[in-house]
């Protein structure tokens, strides 16, 4: 029999209500403490792949609920402060696995001097960006989802969430930021409250929000925190002006079939004093491994004749001292299922391509090889979100490898881009997804190697769509990708002219 609970005729006095709420909050916090402790214990057990990512989500969700409970316990008149780095880490831990499950790449980039905190309740910050990122993820089916932080000219902090989804429809744009502003006939589930809640919380704090479609496709939601809401970091982390990780003790076998990627990696490793021998495919890599004496192998996973997975397995199956050589996989695909297969094949770790930060690359190697780090901490750099080329990555690479090597690199990029464009054209003409997938796989690495981030995203989106066989989507995405290649080629041609003059 269904029981109906009636409203009490005589509600509890205020002090008794406060006691009841305090007891409930205490009990929930006790339960959450158990969840957090258990998740930390499991993290220390070394779970991998999907399990580790799911565990991080549980941990992050528990911390968020704990923060929500803390809102009611705040002292009257206290100044709310949202420390940025811990909150950004929570967003990355929660939404990264969600994006990966949809085949999307989630990234978080910072440019310039980022404040340590904001004069804003941390729960409000999380509510705002959970809603914005959740909306972007809901409507995106391929490509990338990026969160970017940068200081603008007036000292304000700009935070943008950019996606490669379909953008806002006319119906959605007419109701953006409205209460229950969900357009009629919308396919994705939801109440239409997310952006309304975000705007209300931000306006209360004195910040601004806007949403728009990007010219290159997808959507951008921008939040601007004025300078008076920013609190400077007590110990800002700065990129060192001099000094890089020292790899002089390492003799490295680099197995990489793409000439552009091989050049970039070799220049970086040489700049850090490593001795490098290169192999252009899996068969060459095994032959070099047989005749040489290496203490580190950097193995690209996608190679002709023998794949990186085959190379890893054969190196580990030798049964001699060489089988114990430290092996790191290089790959542009770092979804949990890929990681599991790579680690099962015998890799000691994975380094994601493209390689855009020389110090991060070197330190990742040192962590696995057991040598101490050198050169200090680095800050990931970003560029103008509307730029075709991420200029801080490009300029940093030019400084590292020098003008002569930069000319050689750009010449290889020219050749690669022309070959990729032809492959995409041939695939579209023949209604054959194979050449498109092969060409865009190359393009993802080549574009990322010198900072062509928008083109990299277009290649990722087309690569994912080509797997669906849906030509109504493949053809327009291929056209966007080809236009992106043309735009980048213009930049490359211009740079080559300036380097040769």
Name which of 472, 452, 474 is nearest 461 in CA terms. Answer: 474
Position 254 scores a pLDDT of 96
Segments making up each domain of the chain, as ranges: 104-235, 251-369, 391-500
**CA 236 – CA 48 distance, rounded (Å):** 32
- Give the global pTM: 0.44
Angle at 130 between CA 126 and CA 135, to 5 degrees: 160
Strands 296-300 and 326-331, sheet pairing: parallel
What string of DSSP letters covers 193-248? -HHHHHHHHHHHHT-EEEEEE-TTSSEEEEEEE-GGGEE--SS-----SS-----T
How would you write the pLDDT of the chain (501 residues) with one tens digit per residue? 333 333 344 444 555 555 455 445 445 544 554 455 455 445 544 555 556 656 665 656 666 565 555 544 444 444 578 889 888 888 887 788 888 888 888 888 888 788 989 998 888 898 899 889 988 888 888 888 999 999 887 889 999 999 988 888 887 777 777 765 555 555 545 445 778 888 998 999 999 999 899 887 889 999 999 999 998 875 433 333 335 788 989 999 999 988 877 888 888 899 888 999 999 999 999 999 999 999 999 999 888 899 999 999 999 998 888 999 999 998 865 555 667 788 888 888 888 776 767 777 888 888 788 654 444 333 333 333 334 677 767 777 787 778 888 888 888 999 999 999 999 999 999 999 999 998 988 888 788 777 787 788 788 878 888 888 888 888 888 888 888 898 888 888 888 888 776
Does this chain's domain 104-235 share its CATH topology with 391-500? Answer: no
Query: 391-500 has which fold?
Result: 1.20.120
Position 287 scores a pLDDT of 95
**Architecture of the domain spanning 104-235:** 2-Layer Sandwich (3.30)
CATH entry 3.40.50.2300 includes domain 251-369: yes
Indicate if the alpha-carbon torsion angle 262, 366, 86, 230 is positive or negative.
negative
Q: Within 10 Å of residue 126's Cβ, how many Cβ atoms?
A: 20
Strands 251-255 and 296-300, sheet pairing: parallel
User: Who's near 255: CB < 8 A, 6+ residues apart?
Assistant: 278, 279, 281, 282, 284, 285, 297, 298, 299, 300, 303, 308, 311
**CA 424 – CA 430 distance, rounded (Å):** 10
Indicate if the alpha-carbon torsion angle 24, 29, 30, 31 is positive or negative.
positive
């Amino acid at each position: 029999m269904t029981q109906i609970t009636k409203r009490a005729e005589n509600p509890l006095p205020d002090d008794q209500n406060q006691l009841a709420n305090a007891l409930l909050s205490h009990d929930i916090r006790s339960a959450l403490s158990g969840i957090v402790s258990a998740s930390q214990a499991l993290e220390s057990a070394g779970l991998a792949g999907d399990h580790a990512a799911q565990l991080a989500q549980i941990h992050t969700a528990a911390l968020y609920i704990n923060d929500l409970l803390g809102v009611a316990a705040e002292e009257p008149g206290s100044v709310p402060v949202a420390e940025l780095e811990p909150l950004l880490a929570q967003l990355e831990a929660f939404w990264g696995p969600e994006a990966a499950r949809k085949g999307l790449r989630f990234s978080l980039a910072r440019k310039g001097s980022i404040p340590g905190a904001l004069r804003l309740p941390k729960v409000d910050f999380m509510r705002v960006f959970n809603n914005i990122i959740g909306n972007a993820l809901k409507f995106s089916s391929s490509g990338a989802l990026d969160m970017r932080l940068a200081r603008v000219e007036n000292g304000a902090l700009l935070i943008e969430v950019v996606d490669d989804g379909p953008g806002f429809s006319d119906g959605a744009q007419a109701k953006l930021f409205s209460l229950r502003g969900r357009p009629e006939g919308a396919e994705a589930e939801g109440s239409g409250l997310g952006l309304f809640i975000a705007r209300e919380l931000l306006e209360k704090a004195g910040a601004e929000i806007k949403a728009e479609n990007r010219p290159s496709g997808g959507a951008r939601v921008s939040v601007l925190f004025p300078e008076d809401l920013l609190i400077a970091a007590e110990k800002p982390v700065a990129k060192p002006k001099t000094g890089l990780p020292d790899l002089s003790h390492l003799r490295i076998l680099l197995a990489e079939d793409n000439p552009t990627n091989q050049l970039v990696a070799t220049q970086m490793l040489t700049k850090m004093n490593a001795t490098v021998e290169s192999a252009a495919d899996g068969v060459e890599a095994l032959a070099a491994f047989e005749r040489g004496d290496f203490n580190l192998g950097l193995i690209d996973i996608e190679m002709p004749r023998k794949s990186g997975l085959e190379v890893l397995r054969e190196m580990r199956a030798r049964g001699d001292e060489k089988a114990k050589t430290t092996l790191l996989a290089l790959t542009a695909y770092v979804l949990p299922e890929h990681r599991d297969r790579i680690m099962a094949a015998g890799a000691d770790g994975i380094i994601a391509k493209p390689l855009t930060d020389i110090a991060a690359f070197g330190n990742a190697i040192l962590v696995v090889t057991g040598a101490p780090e050198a050169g200090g901490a680095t800050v990931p750099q970003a560029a103008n979100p509307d730029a075709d080329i991420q200029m801080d990555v490009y300029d940093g690479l030019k400084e590292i490898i020098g003008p002569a090597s930069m000319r050689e690199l750009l010449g290889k990029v020219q050749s690669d881009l022309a070959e990729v464009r032809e492959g995409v054209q041939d695939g579209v003409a023949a209604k054959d997804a194979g050449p498109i997938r092969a060409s865009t796989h190359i393009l993802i690495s080549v574009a990322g190697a010198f900072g062509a981030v928008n083109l990299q995203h277009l290649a990722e989106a087309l690569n994912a769509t080509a797997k669906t066989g849906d030509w109504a989507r493949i053809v327009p995405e291929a056209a966007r990708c080809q236009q992106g290649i043309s735009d980048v080629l213009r930049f490359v041609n211009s740079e080559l002219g300036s380097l040769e003059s």
